[in-house]
Amino acid sequence: MPVDGRLAEFKVCSQACSLISRSGSLDRSVMPEIALQLTTGDAFEFLASLAPKSVDLIISSPPYFMGKEYDSSIKLEDFVDAHRKLLPLVTAALKDGGSICWQVGHHVHDGVSVPLDALVYVTFSSTGVLYHRNRIIWTFGHGAHARRRFSGRHESISWFTKGHSYYFDLDATRVPQKYPGKKGYKGPKKGQLTGHPLGKNPSDVWEIPNVKAHHVEKTAHPCQFPVALAQRLTRALCPPGGLVVDPFMGSGTSGVAAVLEGRAFSGCDRDERYVRIARERLEALGNGSLRYRPLDQPIYVPGPNSAVAKRPPHFTVTEAS
């Protein structure tokens, strides 16, 4: 991984935890490098402890609040109740113009699929403080194979802003055009290049491999999201040097993305094992040994001569699967 001077100097240590004062503001005079705070505890208490209007961006993937996996009852009301409780806490902590990105999937029980982002939308929009800007579809190539419905290959990120005047740096997230040499064929721009020199808007559909067993970012945490996902959100929605918060940080992926992008990070998880993983990942990032998939790495396509791309003779389906 390329390590620039800023990251080489970056340290995660108990001192770093004190860099975000109890008021939540950053004390850059103590250490000019990136400030970090990792908390073991309850997300609701953690959010309540943040100074009002101190956070630029909240990125999180909450648990489904539906009891243990072996609990067969679907408790969607628990999910909604938890989000009703979260709403005043996240809105109080966010700066005016700050953003919240909430990553969820579907809850599937007995083959019935509930899109959880629909519940998030209804709950978070209910007070008229948070405004929905995008439902970003995160699509990936691998997952469970369904037999009685189409296999699920996407989850989503619901992006809300606090208020109508908000930070959004599109240029920081532009991607190369498919046809950069395209020219207008009529009207005042006839014969002129039509693309933006910095690249195109990445759109609201993002293909980023999910963190499965052989992914370079895989840790012992069971449901990580990829660094690249949080990285693009951070670039676009948090000003350089601003503060990113993840109240359900798991393995600390949002923290890794924040540090890569030169933003401060404060995260919480109630499970000490995951906080330890997050700390180890950030330490590895600091010393240049963390492996992560770069945001601009193309999706792997096996070559026609590779063994996995060859169709066994008895396979009869001709469409790619």
Residues engaged in binding ligand SAM (CB under 6 A): 42-43, 61, 63, 221, 223-225, 248, 250-251, 253, 268-271, 274
| SS3 at position 206 | strand
Minimum CB separation of residue 24 from ligand SAM in Å reads 18
Nearer to ligand SAM, 226 or 286 (CB): 226
Minimum CB separation of residue 292 from ligand SAM in Å reads 12
Minimum CB separation of residue 307 from ligand SAM in Å reads 32
Nearer to ligand SAM, 33 or 206 (CB): 206
Which burial class, exposed, middle or buried, applies to 127 when counting CB atoms under 10 A from its CB (0-12, 13-18, 19+)?
A: exposed
Terminal CA-to-CA distance of the chain, rounded, Å?
33
DSSP code of residue 190: B
Minimum CB separation of residue 274 from ligand SAM in Å reads 5
C-alpha closest to that of 131 among 106, 164, 173: 164
**CB-side neighbour CA atoms (13 Å) of 188:** 0
Nearer to ligand SAM, 83 or 221 (CB): 221
Nearest position to ligand SAM, beta carbon:
250
Minimum CB separation of residue 250 from ligand SAM in Å reads 3
For CA atoms 114, 117, 122, 127, the dihedral sign is: positive
Strands 130-139 and 205-207: parallel
Nearer to ligand SAM, 24 or 226 (CB): 226
Nearer to ligand SAM, 33 or 238 (CB): 238
Nearer to ligand SAM, 56 or 155 (CB): 155
Do residues 57 and 234 lie in contact, with contact meaning Cβ atoms separated by under 8 Å? Answer: yes
What's the rounded Cα separation, in Å, for the pair 227 and 260? 9
Minimum CB separation of residue 270 from ligand SAM in Å reads 4
